[in-house]
Amino acid sequence: MFEEAFADEQHTICYSVKANSSLAILRLLAKMGAGFDIVSGGELERVRRASKAALKRVVFSGVGKQEWEIDAALQADILIFNVESEAELQLLAARAEALQVRARFALRVNPDVFAETHPYISTGLREHKFGIDIKIARRIYRSAAKYKWLDAAGVSVHIGSQIRAVDPFAAALARVAALVDELRSDGLNIRYVDAGGGLGIEYKDGEFDADDEVVRYAEALRGSAKQLKVHLLLEPGRFIVAQAGGLLTQVLYVKQNGSKTFVVTDAGMNDLIRPSLYQAHHEVLPVQQARSGAVSRMVDVVGPVCESGDFFARDRSLTSLKGGDLVLLLDAGAYGMSLSSNYNTRTRPAEVLVDGKEHLLIRRRERLSDLFAAEKLPRSKRSQANK
């Protein structure tokens, strides 16, 4: 849908790897011609393992790139670095010179545009850690001209995630367009504009037309994009995979505490942390058809993790459930597995890719032995002395 909506613009869809970094999904997208937005050396390696050819379509974002990560990206000849500070730009210049590799870069500018979303995933205001104040960006671009191994190839912007209105995207790109005009008047060959990602989905049980959302998003960006005549980089992640995935879990117990009914499942906040971290809503659907005569009641759907914040839904009306029933948490394809952990020494679930009636295991269920593979018990001084 993105390809169709932006067909009139030079563009590359750079899937945001952090949304879901499964190698199988990355390979599937690479075969479709996608580029990738990465934020770590580990994600760079994931793209390499999924498709070496796709390395040339990689955009490296992130506020804290380390020297080894920059070196790996330079050696991979990625498309562009989104630089987030003057200090990072100096490091990039030094590493490019050391490796004798020309580094294409864009400054990620902070346009100070407000987008209505959760404060933890809003990134476009001055008080956020991301980006460079757009008011000082021109000076930094000028100072970068003294570095032989730097190529000021673009400008980048990203104002946040799970944004449902398109006006903030248009406002941010308009401010970027004004900066690009200034930079070109300074003689810089700006040929890429990274518009970031952040287009939101509907997590609740409401109307949602994905095609229409993308069309509106494209229309919001098109004016500035046409004016600039640049190669547009777009970084959807959640929008592509969120609604394609769900978390399947089994009810362990149903318990009553006073007036509260708790449905305890075998999945927990370590498997899907979004409700605990962002107070995010995920629809909860029983897999089996409702039993004859079953009634709905208000329940909290919670996990077994030893935290009061371990919940998936609170005061949710669900058809009566019992131990052994299966329930599906919808829209877990993005920031489900990628944000999962082994908290409470819990193993993570398997991942299964489903295509119609066909299914393929793309990540096996973790074993307890996997959790201890990297750990070592130190020998005591006494045992060493007795050897």
Whether 352 contacts 362, CB under 8 Å: yes
How many angstroms separate the CA atoms of 308 and 82, rounded?
A: 39
Alpha helix segments (H runs only) across the chain: 2-5, 23-31, 41-50, 67-75, 86-99, 137-144, 167-185, 210-228, 238-241, 274-278, 368-372, 381-385
How many angstroms separate the CA atoms of 271 and 332, rounded?
A: 10
Catalytic residue among 7, 87, 306, 374: 306
CATH of domain 245-364: 2.40.37.10
**Region 332-337: what's the mean pLDDT?**
97
For the record, the structure tokens of 262 come out as: 């708790």
Whether 79 contacts 58, CB under 8 Å: yes
Dump pLDDT digits (tens) for 251-277: 999 999 999 999 999 999 999 999 999
Dump pLDDT digits (tens) for 20-54: 999 999 999 999 999 999 999 999 999 999 999 99
How many angstroms separate the CA atoms of 124 and 13, rounded?
A: 21
How many angstroms separate the CA atoms of 263 and 202, rounded?
A: 25
Whether 208 contacts 162, CB under 8 Å: no
φ, ψ for residue 337 (rounded to 5)? Answer: -60, -35
pLDDT at residue 111 is higher than 90: no
Question: Is the pTM of the predicted complex or chain greater than 0.85?
Answer: yes
Dump pLDDT digits (tens) for 51-82: 999 999 999 999 999 999 999 999 999 999 99
Looking at the domain covering 2-242, what would its CATH class be?
alpha beta
What residue type is assigned to position 122 of the chain? S
Dump pLDDT digits (tens) for 294-305: 788 999 999 999
Helix H or strand E segment including 59: strand 58-60
pLDDT at residue 119 is higher than 70: no
For the record, the structure tokens of 248 come out as: 């399947």
DSSP letters for 121-153: GB--STTSSSSEETTTHHHHHHHHTT-TTEEEE
- In this structure, what DSSP letter does residue 364 have? P
For the record, the structure tokens of 212 come out as: 């229409």
Q: Is 306 a catalytic residue?
A: yes
pLDDT at residue 151 is higher than 70: yes
Domain limits, the chain = 2-242, 245-364
